[in-house]
Amino acid sequence: MKPLVSFFAIICVAFPLSGAATENDPGTWITFSTTDAFQTDGQDSRWHYWFDAQARYFDLGSGVNQWLARPGIGYEINENVTAWLGYARFRSRNSAGDVSNEDRYWQQINWSAGSWNGGKVSMRARLEQRSISVGDDTGLVARFLAKYVRPIAKYQDTNLIIGIEPFVDLRDTDWGGDAGLGQNRVFIGFGRRVSDRLSIEAGYMNQYIWRDNAENRINHLGVLSFKVKL
- Tell me what pLDDT residue 60 has: 66
- Tell me what pLDDT residue 1 has: 47
- Tell me what pLDDT residue 28 has: 95
| pLDDT at residue 13 tops 80 | no
Q: Model confidence at 70, in pLDDT bands (50, 70, 90)?
A: very high
The mean pLDDT value of the chain amounts to 90
| pLDDT at residue 108 tops 50 | yes
- Tell me what pLDDT residue 18 has: 46
Say which CATH number the domain at 75 has: 2.40.160.40
E strand spans, the chain: 23-40, 43-58, 65-78, 81-93, 99-116, 119-132, 138-151, 158-169, 180-193, 198-209, 217-228
User: What distance lies between CA 106 and its chain's CA centroid?
Assistant: 13
> Which of 123, 122, 119 minimizes the C-alpha distance to 152?
119
User: What distance lies between CA 13 and its chain's CA centroid?
Assistant: 20
In angstroms, the CA 207 to CA 105 distance is 22
Residues in the chain: 230
Contact present, 102 and 87 (Cβ < 8 Å): no
| pLDDT at residue 25 tops 70 | yes
Q: What is the 3-state secondary structure of 85-151?
A: EEEEEEEEECCCCCEEEEEEEEEEEEEEEEEECCEEEEEEEEEEEEEECCCCCEEEEEEEEEEEEEE
pLDDT mean over 190-196: 96
Range of the domain at 114: 2-228
pLDDT mean over 15-41: 82
Kindly report the pTM of this predicted structure: 0.88
| pLDDT at residue 2 tops 70 | no
- Tell me what pLDDT residue 212 has: 81
Contact present, 65 and 55 (Cβ < 8 Å): yes
* Number of domains present in the structure of the chain: 1
- Tell me what pLDDT residue 75 has: 99
Q: What is the pLDDT of residues 204-222, one digit of tens each?
A: 999 999 988 788 999 999 9
Q: Report how far apart, in Å, the C-alpha atoms of 117 and of each of 4, 11, 34, 78, 100 are.
A: 7, 16, 28, 24, 44
> Which of 68, 30, 35, 26 minimizes the C-alpha distance to 225?
30
